[in-house]
Structure 1
C-alpha cells in the first residue's frame, strides 16, 4: 500500500507567504514611526507635465501671423504701391512715439483720433442700450407689442446704417451728432431682437409660478426674466458693439472732423499708405479689445460658457 502523506502535527496550518511578511513588516515600521512621532506620508503619484496643450494654444496664432506677414511681404515685393512690413513697422514706431500731439483741429495724433471715435461709439451705443434693452423686454413680454413692432423692425433692420447718416445731418445740422445717430440706429436692432428672443424663451413654468405667487410685474422682471434673459441680452450687446465700431469708421470718412475714420481718409489724401495700414491694424485691435471686454463681462454675469 502506498503511504498516505499527512501533515505533521507540529507543522502550521497555513504557511506564511512573502506578501504577508512584507505587509507585517510595513505595519511594524509604521507603528515604530508612530511611536517616534514621525508622520509617514503615502507616496504620491508623479504628475508628468506636458507642453503639448501650451504649444497648441500658442503655436497656431503665431504661425497665422507669420503667414500673414509673408503674404504681405510677397504682395509688397510685386506691387510698388504697397509698403513692406518693415517700412510699415518703422512708420508705426515714429507714429506712436507721440500719439497725442495736437497742431490744430485737423492735425492731431492717432491717440486723439481713437479717443474721439470711442467717445462717439460710447454715446451712440449707450443710448441704444437705454432704449433697445427695455423695448426688447416689452416686445418679448407682451404679444400685442410684439405684433406691433415686429413689422417695423423687419422693415428697418436691413437698412444700411450709413443710409441713416443723411437723415442725421438733416435733423441735427452737424456732423458729430449725425455720426452718433448712425451708431445709435445700427446698435439698437441686435439689442432689441436678442432681448426679446430671450424673454420669449423663458420657461412657461416660471411664469405660472409667478401667477400663483401673485408677483408684481417689477418682481417678474427683476427676479425671473432678467436672470434668464441676461445671456441673450449680452449676446445682443456684443453684436451691437462690433457693428458700432465698424460703422463709426465709415461715418467719420463721410463727415470729417477728428476720428480714426477721418484720419484714414486724410492719410489717403496725403498718399501715406503705411499710415493707412497702421490704422487698419489699430481699428482691428481696438475692436478685438472691445469684444474681449464684453466677453469677460458676459462670463462674469452668466453661468454659461461664452464663446469668443
Structure 2
C-alpha cells in the first residue's frame, strides 16, 4: 500500500514540476471585428510601458505632387559661352572705338584734299584704314550676334538673356553659388511648371527646395518627357552630375493629413497605420503612398481616413508584432 502511495505521489510531483517548467503564454491581445479584421487591445498601462503613443492630427491643405527625375547639370559649356561672349563684346567695343577715330581721320583727309593740303596717298591711306575698321566692326557685330543666338538657342530666353545682359543669375551659376538642375517629367505627364519644387537625393529622405527658372531647351533623352530648369542654392550640397528625385506640385490643394514615418508599418509590400477604434482597441488601416511628406512619411487625403482619426504615431510596430504573435499562437493551439 505504501508503495502504491509513493508511486502516485511521485507522479503528482512530476506533473506539478512539468507544469511549473512549461512556458507561460502571454495574454492574447488580438480579436476580430464584425468584418473579420484584426483588432489589437492594449490597455493604458501596457501602452505606457511599451511606448505606444496616440495623437489626433489636424488636417491642413496640401497639394498633390508629381514625381519627376532630374540631374544637376555641368555648366562647362555655359562658362565657355559666357567667356566667348564677353570677349566678343570687348572686341566689338574696341572695333567701334577704332572706327570712330578712323572715320574722323578719313573725313579730315577728305576736307584737306579739297584744299590740296593733303596728298592723294594720305587720303587713300585714311580711307583704307576706315574701310578696314568698318569690316572689323561688321565682323565683331556678327560674332556677337551669333553668340547671342547660341545663348538663346542652347539655354532659353531666361538663362540666355541673363548671359547676354550679364545678369546675376548667370554670375551665380558660374561662381557656383547656385546650381542648375534639369527636371524631366515622366512621358505623357503634362503640368504647368511650379514656381517651387523639392528634390531628394542620395540615401537621405530630407528634401531641398529648388526654384523654377524656365522651360528647358531640350529633354532628357533617357526619359523623353517635358523638361524644366530649376535652380538650387549651393547650401543644398548638390553637385554637378548628381541625380535627384523631384516633386512638383500639381492640381488644386486638398485637405490632407501628414502621417509621420514612425506611424507607418510595412506588410505585404503595402503601407499601414493603426487607428484607435475604442478606448484600448486599434485596427490596421492601409494608406496610399503616392504623396510623400517632406520630412518622411506620407500625406493622405482626409477622405481616406475616418473623421477625426486618432493615429498611433509611436509603437505601431509593437501592434503589428501582436498580430503576428496571435497568428503563431493560434496556429500552435490548433496543432
Relative contact order higher in (CA < 8 Å, ≥ 6 apart): 2
Say which structure is richer in strand.
Answer: 2
TM-score (norm 1): 0.20
Q: Which protein is bigger by CA-based radius of gyration?
A: 2
TM-score (norm 2): 0.19
